């Protein structure tokens, strides 16, 4: 896929587009651990305020150790979900990015598995527009 040099302002098209210099390999830029990386597609709006609309394609890397504040793909009590991971020395939670949903405390007796860390979000601008982003 070709890439234009420099950065692009969110304004008028740049004449630099006529001077494409190189090609970009998205695998090289987005995937650090190819054998541990996979895609999932979102189906709800619990992460809408993290710019993850329904139908977003998420790149998930299971080789990354989840840290506080990461967006993770998890299984909680038998249900798969995408949420922020929040933790301190005593507790951990799966936290949505939509106030309509409740956070989930991860307790020792909870059935919770973190399947990976979200490393990229790929969306169709039309899908984002329908959930309130990008309107003029």
125 token code pair: 């601008």
Find the catalytic residue in 83, 87, 110, 126: 83
> Residue 29 has what DSSP assignment?
H
Whether 96 contacts 103, CB under 8 Å: yes
Among the listed residues 35, 46, 100, 110, the single catalytic one is 46
Q: What angle do CA 74, 129, 118 make, to 5 degrees?
A: 20
Alpha carbon 32 to chain centroid, angstroms: 15
Nearest one of 5, 135, 119 to 65, comparing CA atoms:
119
Assess whether 46 carries a catalytic annotation. yes
Q: Is 125 exposed, middle or buried (0-12, 13-18, 19+ CB in 10 A)?
A: exposed
- Give the residue numbers marked as catalytic: 46, 83
């Amino acid at each position: 896929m070709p890439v234009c040099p420099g950065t692009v302002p969110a304004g008028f098209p740049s004449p630099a587009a006529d001077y494409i210099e190189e090609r970009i390999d998205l695998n090289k830029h987005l995937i650090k651990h190819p054998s541990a990386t996979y895609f999932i597609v979102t189906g709800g709006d619990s992460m809408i305020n993290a710019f993850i609309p329904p139908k977003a394609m998420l790149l998930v890397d299971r080789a990354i150790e989840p840290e506080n504040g990461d967006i993770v793909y998890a299984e909680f009590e038998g249900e798969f979900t995408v949420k922020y991971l929040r933790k301190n020395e005593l507790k951990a939670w799966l936290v949505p990015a939509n106030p309509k949903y409740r956070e989930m405390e991860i307790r020792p007796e909870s059935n919770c598995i973190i399947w990976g860390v979200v490393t990229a979000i790929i969306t169709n601008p039309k899908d984002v527009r329908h959930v309130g982003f990008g309107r003029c």
